Every structure is written in structure tokens, then in C-alpha cells.
Structure 1
Amino acid sequence: MAVLLLAGIVFTLILIMGQRDLASVVVVRNISHKLKGHSLSTNYWQAGIALFAANAALFALAFVILFFLPYGAVAGLLMCIPLSLFIWVIFAGVWRGSWKDKAKMAFIGSSFFLFFLGWIFWYYATLEPAYPGDDLFMAWIGVIIASIFTLGAMSVSMFVILRKC
């Protein structure tokens, strides 16, 4: 598990370092060019809600992959992380409003991770032992790991979206 975590962190760092190259890929430029005239490029509420929906869809995809495919964690890391970075780079490239509105859009879109973090804490707070004397230490470890991944995903998304192009 530690090897998978380390591999995911290294893979994410490699993708973040190459995000300027990713922004210049023909596919990203074509999508950005088609969306520039749309209200997603200037209305931070619409762009933030679309980003929120994209984050939720990618989370649902990762959830399905994790539980329904053998070695789903590896497949999820190899597929959902680049897809999410790709979507965040597109939203960063499409934006044509002020930097302050871009920050609002990024916060609205990344608030999915805050809702998920709230659900994690609520789930742990309402968790009851399966039998008398059951130790919930492993559940607490799961909460810590899920919190690290959630805050990491939110900070990476904010970094990618708010970077200077």
C-alpha cells in the first residue's frame, strides 16, 4: 500500500511539473478554443459548478473502478489522476475573467473535496462498534488516510487552476 501511495505521489508530481506542456497539447487548445465564447469562460458560478460536477464524476468513476475491478486502486491512480489534471488544465486555460473570479471558480469547483471531507468526519463520528469491545483504531487510520488524500486532491486542483499561464 505504501508503494502505491508513493507511486501516486511521484506520478502526480511528474504530471504537475509537466502541466505547462499539457496546456499546449493540441487537444487542450482545441477544447479551450471551443469553450472560450461560452459562459464557462467568464461566469465563475457556472464554471465552478461544472468543475464541481467534473470532480464528482471523476470521484464516482474512481469509486466504481476501485470496487469493481481487480487491482482497482492501481487502475484508478493511472486513469483518474491524469483525467482530473487534464480537466483542471482545461478550466484554467478557458478562464477569461479576473484572477479574483478565477479563485472563486476554483474554490466552488474544489468544494466537492470539502463536502467529501465533511462526510468522512461525519461517518467516523457516527460509526459504532460492530460488537462490544470492538476497537475503531483502524477506522481512525482510514479517516486519516482519506483526509490526506482529499486535502491533497483539493490543494493540487487549486494549484493547477490558479497557476499563472
Structure 2
Amino acid sequence: MSILLVLGSFLIVIFLLNKQAFFQMTSTNTFLVQKLSNARWFHNQWYSGIFLFFLNAILFSVAVLLILLSGKLTIPYLHLAIMLLATIVSIYLWLSIHHAEEKGKRERVIMSAIGSSFYLLLLAVFVYMIVNLGPGTPENDTFMAFIGLLFASFVSFIALITCFCITGLSKKQYKN
């Protein structure tokens, strides 16, 4: 599992280093981009940041729900496919938000800081849970709970950085 975590993080780093190529590969004429571009409220950095925050919360909740439901099935490694799909969908939606917004650098950073703060709050919750792990009992494996929370903290940190870089720190130099 840790190999997959390191491999996924490595792929995200490669993506972030080459994000301009991915921006050019995605279309700006999709339904979501057009709807957001034409929405008046989306041009306000505060409203669009709150939208991004709730979008991240919904994406995370749906992914967790699907992973929990996949635990009821006997299909091996289905949870890994769900996590990969959730990552791809999240990045695609962040790219769409990047294409839709027509803000200055300061406004993009404000929007991105508000939107990606969901993952910061999630990271704080996971760190709080790590700090407050109870003593181990035969029914409660503290070490495995620690490893799970450590992985969750790492994933939320990577999501925070990725969301912030895509939606807030990327330059708009082109129009498809």
C-alpha cells in the first residue's frame, strides 16, 4: 500500500511540473466551463472559493462513500480503482475551474485558498485523530489506526497542494 502511495505522489509531482501541457490538453468548451464562465457569482473570488470548497467536500464524501460500499463487495482492489477515479475526477474538475475563471492572480489565490482549505481542515482532523489515539486493546489495533491516519494525512496534504497549484498558482496564457 505504501508503494502505491509513493507512486501516486510521484505521478502528482510529475503532473504538477507539467501542468501547462495538461491545461492545453483539456477543452475549454465543455458544459461545466461554459456554465461557470457565464455564472455571475463565479467571477467573485469569495463565492467561487466557497463553491470550490463545497465541490471538494462533495468529491471527498462521494469517494469515501464508494470506498465504504466497495468494502461490502468481495471484489479485490476495487477501492484502489475508486481512489484512482476520484483523483482523476478531482483533477479534471479543478482544471475546469481553472479554465472557467477570469480573475487576476490575487483573486485566483484567494479563491484557491478558500477552496483548498477543505483539505487543510481534513488534514487537521487527521492529525488531531493521530494525537488522540487511545491505548491499544485486543479489539483496537492502534498501530494500524496510526498507519491509516498517517496515509489519510498524507493524501489530504497532497490534495491540498494539488488543488491550490491547479486553481490558484497556474497562469492563464492561452485560450482554446
Per the alignment, residue 76 of structure 1 pairs with 82
The offset of 1:44, in angstroms, is 1.1
Change (3 A) 1:148 1:14: same
Identical columns (%): 27
Q: Give the TM-score normalised by structure 1.
A: 0.82
Shifted more, 109-118 versus 91-100: the winner is 91-100
Change (3 A) 1:135 1:38: closer
How many equivalent residue pairs?
164
Residue pairs, 1:77-116, within 5 angstroms: 77-116=83-122
Q: Distance in 2 between matches of 1:129 and 1:123?
A: 13
List runs of 5+ in structure 1 lacking aligned partners: none
Q: Distance in 2 between matches of 1:117 and 1:47?
A: 22
Letter aligned with residue 103 of structure 1? V
Residue pairs, 1:1-165, within 5 angstroms: 1-13=1-13, 15-16=15-16, 19-20=19-20, 22-24=22-24, 28-30=28-30, 31-69=32-70, 70=75, 71-131=77-137, 136-161=142-167, 162-165=169-172
Q: Distance in 2 between matches of 1:155 and 1:46?
A: 21
Q: Give the TM-score normalised by structure 2.
A: 0.77
Determine if contact 1:12/1:81 at 8 Å carries over to the other structure. Answer: no
- Where 1:139 maps in the other structure, the secondary structure is helix
- Where 2:29 maps in the other structure, the secondary structure is helix
Change (3 A) 1:15 1:83: farther
- 1:11-60 Cα distance to aligned partner (Å, 9 max, x none): 43565466445544675423323322313442111111111111111111
Change (3 A) 1:155 1:4: same
Letter aligned with residue 123 of structure 1? M
Letter aligned with residue 118 of structure 1? A
The offset of 1:135, in angstroms, is 7.1
C-alpha RMSD over aligned residues: 2.6
The offset of 1:6, in angstroms, is 3.9
Determine if contact 1:55/1:109 at 8 Å carries over to the other structure. Answer: yes
- 1:104-128 Cα distance to aligned partner (Å, 9 max, x none): 1001000111111121122233332
